[in-house]
C-alpha cells in the first residue's frame, strides 16, 4: 500500500505536549520563534503528564534553599547534578506562579490560600513543601497549559507518532513520523528539535503508551542515556498489573501518603515487624512504608525473603497485601543525558521532562516531578530558541528519509513475523531477570532481549495504523530494556532503587558516579562518568554503606 | 479493562476518543466504538470525562499487560521459598480472629472482628 508523504517546516519542533512540552513551547515562543508541538495523542489530554502525578514540590523564596538542596541530594544518594538542583529549586516558585497564572487549580484551604503540605522524607529533619491538584492525573491542568500555549501562537499537531530523529552530519535537523489516523508519512524539517517525551514503563506495568519513544530515538541517533539503572522499584502487590485493583490501589496509596491516621506496617510471614531489626528502616515513620523511602526497605525485604521468612506483607488497617518486587512500575528510569540547560550530546537536539534524566534528579526529590519537568522543559525551549538564532534549515537527505519511511511501514502486511502482543508476552517473560539483578540474570536478560529485538525487527501487523503504531512503539521498549540491563550491569552496587542482589551495598568509593549508556545492538555499552563533586557543596563520604545492617539498639 | 460503551446513554461527544492515551476509540458511522479493547491500560480517564457515564469497566486482566507471576518468577530466581506460616499470616483479620477464637487464643485486639 502507498502512503502519501508530507513535509512540514518549522523553526522549533517540540515532540511531546506534556508539562515539559508546554513550558518549552511557551519559552521558545517568547522569542518569536515558530513553534510546532507534536503529540501521539490529543495535545493536552494524554501522556505521562495527564496520568502521572498531582504533586508539585515547591520551595518558597523564604524557605531554606540550602536545606532543600541537601535533602534532594541525600534522597537521590548523591546522583543529583547539584548545580541543576540549585537552579531548579530556586526557580520552583517562579514555575509554580506560572502554572497558577495559566489556571492550575491547586487545592486551597478555607481561606483561599494554597494548601501546603509538609511531607516527611527519609532524610532526617527534612520536609518537602508540596501543593496538590486534583484529581490525580492532571489532564485538566495540562489542557489549560496547552490552551495558553495555543493562545500565544504555538502550533499543535496531535495524533502524530514520531518514529525517528533525522540527524545529518552530527546535527539534528528534523524528525519523521506517522499520522496515526490517516497513516500519512510525515517529514518535519526544523532548525532545532526539543524532545519532551515521557519515560518508559515495562511491558506490563501501568500504561501501554509510556514506551520511551523519545529516549529510544535519541539512543539510536547516538545520544547517551543516563541513570537507566534506576528503574523505580514498586511493590508488586499494591501496584501490580492490576486491572481490578486499580481504583482501590490508588485510593490506598493516596491514603497511605496523606493520612497519618492509617496504621500501615510491613510484616513478614511470621507476623513480625522486622523493619525494627534493621538500622536503615527502624526509625522511619510508619506511613512512609512504600513511599519515599522505599529504597531503605528493599534490602531488608530481600533479606527476609531470601532467608525464608517471606513473603512480606504490607498491612493497611489489618488488610494484608503481599509485597512483591517489581522494578519501574511507577516512575522514571533515567533518560536522555542533558545538562542543566537541556542540551543533549547531539547538536540541535534538546531534551526536557521525563524522557530526559533531569540531571540525575530522581523520584521524590524536589528537582524531579512536575517542577523538574517544567524546569527542564523551559530550559530546553530556551536553549533551542537561542540555537536557532545562528543556525538555519538544512536540506534533508532524501535517501535517509526514504530509508526511514521504508522501515516504518515494513511491518504492514508482512507475511511472517511476531505480532505486537507476542513481543509483549516475550518481554514479560524476560522481565523478572531484569528485576532480580545479579551479574548472571542481567547478562541473560540482555542476551534474550537482543534476540527478541532481532526478531522484533521483522514484526508483522495487519493493514491497520493503530497496530502499526503499537508495533513501532514496542520495539523501543525492547531496546530500552537492553539499555537498562547494560546500565544495571555496570553499576556493581545498590543505590536508590537499583538493587543488586550480588552487590547489596552502596559503594561511595567506586560508584558515586553516573552510568551512561550509548550505542545500539551488540555495541551497546555503559560507561561510568565522574560526578564533579569538587564543584558541588555536598560530597559523599568515601565509605561503603550497608542498608541491611542490623539495628544498633544502643542509642535508642 | 474497558468493557463496553452503553449505546443508549452514549451521546457520541468524542471526549473519550480525545483523552484515551491508548488510542482505543474510533468513531464509526457517527457512533463511538471501542476498536482496540486489548490495549486498555485502565487509566480510567475516559470514565472520568464521560458526561453521561456510559463507559463500563470490568475487572478483567488485559492479556497484553499481564505481569502476574512476576514476583513468583523472581522468588524462583532468588531460590527463596515461602515460609509455611505465610498462609496463616496472609488471612484477613476476621478469619484470623475466627481461628484464634476456635483455638482459644483470641486476645484483646481480635475483639474488633467479633461477629
Cell numbers that stand for B30 in this block: 457517527
Among B65, B72, B75, B110, most A C-beta atoms within 10 A, so best to mutate, is B65
Per-residue pLDDT tens digits of chain A, which is 556 residues long: 678 889 999 999 999 998 999 999 999 999 999 999 999 888 888 766 766 667 788 999 999 999 999 999 998 899 999 999 999 999 999 999 999 999 988 889 899 999 998 877 778 788 889 888 876 666 788 889 999 999 999 999 999 999 999 999 999 999 999 999 899 999 999 999 999 998 887 544 455 677 889 999 999 999 999 999 887 555 544 443 333 333 344 444 444 444 445 566 778 898 888 888 888 887 665 545 445 567 788 888 888 988 999 788 877 666 677 777 665 444 567 899 999 999 999 999 999 998 898 888 877 788 887 889 999 999 999 999 999 999 999 999 999 999 999 999 999 989 999 998 899 888 888 888 888 899 999 999 999 999 999 999 999 998 889 999 989 988 998 999 999 999 999 999 998 888 898 999 999 999 999 999 999 999 999 999 999 999 999 999 999 988 888 887 655 4
Q: Which residues are registered as beta bridge partners of B2? A: B57
* Residue of chain A nearest B20, judged by CA positions: A46
* Residue of chain B nearest A304, judged by CA positions: B80
Contact across the interface for A243 and B35, Cβ inside 8 Å: no
Among B13, B35, B89, B112, most A C-beta atoms within 10 A, so best to mutate, is B89
Q: Which residues of chain A have a CB within 8 Å of the CB of B39?
A: 208, 466, 470
Would an 8 Å CB–CB cutoff place A45 in contact with chain B? yes
pLDDT at A455: 93
Can you tell me the distance from the alpha carbon of A362 to that of B19, in angstroms, rounded to the nearest whole number? 28
Distance from CA of A250 to the nearest CA of B (A): 11
pLDDT at B102: 82
The DSSP code for A461 is B
Among B47, B59, B74, B84, most A C-beta atoms within 10 A, so best to mutate, is B74
Can you tell me the distance from the alpha carbon of A187 to that of B101, in angstroms, rounded to the nearest whole number? 72
| E strands in A282-354 | 312-316, 319-323, 326-327, 335-336, 349-351
Q: Band the pLDDT of B1: cuts 50, 70, 90.
A: confident
pLDDT at A554: 59
Contact across the interface for A240 and B68, Cβ inside 8 Å: yes
* Among the partner residues A46, A243, A501, nearest to B60 by beta-carbon distance: A243
Q: Which residues of chain A have a CB within 8 Å of the CB of B38?
A: 421
CB of A105 within 8 A of CB of A141? Answer: yes
pLDDT at A488: 93
Report the SS3 class of residue A32. Answer: coil
CB proximity list for B102: less than 8 A, separation 6 or greater = none
* Among the partner residues B21, B36, B66, nearest to A204 by beta-carbon distance: B66
A545: phi then psi, degrees, rounded to nearest 5: -100, 130
Can you tell me the distance from the alpha carbon of B82 to that of B98, in angstroms, rounded to the nearest whole number? 24
Q: Which of residues 309-348 of A touch B (CB under 8 A)?
A: 309-311, 313, 318-320, 322, 324-326
pLDDT at A51: 64
* CB neighbour burial string for A193-216, b if at least 16 within 10 angstroms, e if fewer: bbbbbbbbbbbbbbbbbbbbbbbb
For residue A262, is the peptide bond before it cis, meaning its omega torsion is within 30 degrees of 0?
A: no
Can you tell me the distance from the alpha carbon of A524 to that of A211, in angstroms, rounded to the nearest whole number? 19
Contact across the interface for A209 and B85, Cβ inside 8 Å: no
* Among the partner residues A244, A428, A436, nearest to B78 by beta-carbon distance: A436
What burial class does residue A545 get, using C-beta atoms within 10 Å of its C-beta: 0-12 exposed, 13-18 middle, 19+ buried?
middle
Contact across the interface for A241 and B93, Cβ inside 8 Å: no
pLDDT at A87: 95
Contact across the interface for B65 and A246, Cβ inside 8 Å: no
Angle, vertex CA A332, rays to CA A63 and CA A61, nearest 5: 10
**Three-class secondary structure assignment of A503-555:** ECCEECCCCCEEEEEECCHHHCEEEEEECCHHHCCCCCCCCEECCCCECCHHH
Distance from CA of B103 to the nearest CA of A (A): 18
Can you tell me the distance from the alpha carbon of A521 to that of A79, in angstroms, rounded to the nearest whole number? 27
Can you tell me the distance from the alpha carbon of A32 to that of A22, in angstroms, rounded to the nearest whole number? 15
CB of A472 within 8 A of CB of A420? Answer: no
* Among the partner residues B19, B67, B92, nearest to A204 by beta-carbon distance: B67
Task: Write down the ipTM of this complex.
Answer: 0.83
Q: Are strands A326-327 and A264-267 parallel, antiparallel or unpaired?
A: unpaired
Q: Which of residues 159-218 of A touch B (CB under 8 A)?
A: 180, 202-209
Of the CA atoms within 13 Å of residue A193, those in its CB half-sphere come to 31
The DSSP code for B63 is G
Q: Is the dihedral of CA A206, A78, A281, A256 positive or negative?
A: negative
Render pLDDT for B62-82 as a digit per residue (tens, 0 to 9).
677 666 777 888 889 989 888
Q: Note the pTM of the prediction, 2 decimals.
A: 0.90
In 3D space, the residue among B33, B26, B28 whose CA is nearest the CA of residue B10 turns out to be B33
- Alpha-carbon distance values, A89 to A60, A61, A85, A120, A490 (Å): 9, 10, 6, 18, 31
pLDDT at A398: 94
Would an 8 Å CB–CB cutoff place A462 in contact with chain B? no
For residue A311, is the peptide bond before it cis, meaning its omega torsion is within 30 degrees of 0?
A: yes
Contact across the interface for A209 and B89, Cβ inside 8 Å: no
Distance from CA of B86 to the nearest CA of A (A): 4
* Among the partner residues B19, B45, B81, nearest to A308 by beta-carbon distance: B81
Cell numbers that stand for A554 in this block: 544502643
Distance from CA of A97 to the nearest CA of B (A): 26
Residue, of A224 and B37, whose pLDDT is higher: A224
Amino acid at each position: 500500500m502507498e502512503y502519501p508523504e508530507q513535509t512540514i517546516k518549522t523553526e522549533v519542533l517540540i515532540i511531546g505536549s506534556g508539562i515539559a512540552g508546554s513550558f518549552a513551547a511557551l519559552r521558545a515562543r517568547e522569542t518569536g520563534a515558530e513553534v510546532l508541538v507534536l503529540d501521539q495523542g490529543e495535545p493536552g489530554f494524554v501522556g505521562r503528564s495527564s496520568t502521572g502525578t498531582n504533586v508539585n514540590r515547591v520551595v518558597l523564596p523564604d524557605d531554606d534553599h540550602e536545606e532543600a538542596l541537601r535533602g534532594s541530594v541525600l534522597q537521590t544518594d548523591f546522583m543529583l547534578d547539584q548545580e541543576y538542583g540549585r537552579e531548579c529549586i530556586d526557580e520552583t516558585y517562579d514555575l509554580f506562579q506560572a502554572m497558577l497564572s495559566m489556571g492550575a487549580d491547586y487545592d486551597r484551604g478555607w481561606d483561599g490560600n494554597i494548601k501546603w503540605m509538609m511531607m516527611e522524607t527519609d532524610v532526617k529533619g527534612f520536609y518537602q513543601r508540596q501543593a496538590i491538584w486534583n484529581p490525580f492525573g492532571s489532564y485538566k491542568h495540562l489542557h489549560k497549559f496547552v490552551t495558553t500555549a495555543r493562545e500565544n501562537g504555538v502550533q499543535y499537531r496531535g495524533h502524530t507518532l514520531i518514529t525517528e530523529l533525522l540527524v545529518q552530519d552530527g546535527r539534528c535537523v528534523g524528525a519523521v513520523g506517522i499520522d496515526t489516523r490517516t497513516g500519512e508519512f510525515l517529514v518535519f524539517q526544523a532548525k532545532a528539535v526539543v524532545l519532551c517525551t515521557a519515560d518508559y514503563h515495562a511491558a506490563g506495568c501501568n500504561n501501554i503508551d509510556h514506551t520511551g519513544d523519545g529516549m529510544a530515538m535519541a539512543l539510536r541517533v547516538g545520544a547517551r542515556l543516563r541513570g537507566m539503572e534506576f528503574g523505580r522499584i514498586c511493590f508488586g502487590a499494591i501496584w501490580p498489573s492490576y486491572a481490578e485493583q486499580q481504583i482501590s490501589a490508588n485510593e490506598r496509596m493516596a491514603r497511605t501518603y496523606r493520612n497519618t491516621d492509617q496504621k500501615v506496617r510491613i510484616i513478614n510471614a511470621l507476623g513480625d515487624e522486622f523493619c525494627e531489626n534493621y538500622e536503615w528502616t527502624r526509625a522511619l515513620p510508619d506511613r512512609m512504608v512504600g513511599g519515599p523511602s522505599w529504597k531503605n526497605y528493599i534490602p531488608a525485604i530481600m533479606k527476609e525473603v531470601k532467608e525464608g521468612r517471606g513473603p512480606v506483607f504490607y498491612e493497611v488497617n489489618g488488610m494484608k497485601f503481599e509485597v512483591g518486587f517489581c522494578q519501574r512500575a511507577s516512575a522514571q528510569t533515567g533518560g536522555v543525558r542533558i545538562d542543566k540547560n537541556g542540551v543533549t550530546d547531539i547538536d540541535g537536539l534538546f531534551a526536557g521532562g521525563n524522557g530526559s534524566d533531569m540531571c540525575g534528579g530522581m523520584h521524590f526529590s524536589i528537582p524531579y516531578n512536575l517542577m523538574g519537568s517544567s524546569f527542564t522543559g523551559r530550559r530546553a525551549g530556551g536553549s533551542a530558541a537561542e540555537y536557532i538564532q545562528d543556525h538555519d534549515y538544512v536540506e534533508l537527505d532524501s535517501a535517509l528519509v526514504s530509508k526511514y519511511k521504508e522501515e516504518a511501514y515494513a511491518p504492514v502486511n508482512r507475511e511472517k513475523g511476531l505480532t505486537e502482543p507476542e513481543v509483549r508476552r516475550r518481554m514479560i517473560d524476560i522481565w523478572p531477570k531484569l528485576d532480580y539483578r545479579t551479574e548472571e540474570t542481567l547478562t541473560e536478560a540482555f542476551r534474550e532481549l537482543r534476540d527478541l529485538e532481532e526478531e522484533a525487527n521483522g514484526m508483522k501487523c495487519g493493514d491497520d495504523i493503530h497496530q502499526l503504531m503499537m508495533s513501532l512503539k514496542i520495539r523501543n521498549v525492547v531496546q530500552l530494556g537492553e539499555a537498562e540491563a547494560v546500565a544495571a550491569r555496570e553499576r556493581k552496587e545498590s543505590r536508590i532503587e537499583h538493587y543488586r542482589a550480588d552487590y547489596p551495598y552502596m559503594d561511595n568509593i567506586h560508584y558515586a558516579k553516573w552510568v551512561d549508556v550509548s550505542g545500539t545492538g551488540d555495541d551497546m555499552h555503559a560507561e561510568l562518568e565522574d560526578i564533579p563533586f569538587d564543584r558541588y557543596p555536598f560530597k559523599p563520604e568515601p565509605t561503603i554503606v550497608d542498608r541491611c545492617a542490623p539495628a544498633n539498639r544502643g542509642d535508642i | 479493562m474497558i468493557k463496553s460503551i452503553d449505546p443508549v446513554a452514549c451521546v457520541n461527544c468524542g471526549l473519550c476518543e480525545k483523552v484515551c492515551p491508548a488510542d482505543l476509540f474510533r468513531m464509526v458511522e457517527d457512533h463511538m466504538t471501542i476498536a482496540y479493547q486489548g490495549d486498555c491500560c485502565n487509566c480510567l480517564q475516559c470514565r472520568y470525562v464521560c458526561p453521561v457515564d456510559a463507559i463500563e469497566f470490568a475487572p478483567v486482566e488485559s492479556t497484553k499487560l499481564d505481569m502476574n507471576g512476576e514476583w513468583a518468577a523472581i522468588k524462583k530466581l532468588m531460590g527463596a521459598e515461602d515460609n509455611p506460616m505465610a498462609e496463616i499470616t496472609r488471612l484477613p483479620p476476621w478469619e484470623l480472629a475466627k481461628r484464634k477464637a476456635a483455638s482459644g487464643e483470641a486476645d484483646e485486639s481480635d475483639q474488633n472482628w467479633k461477629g
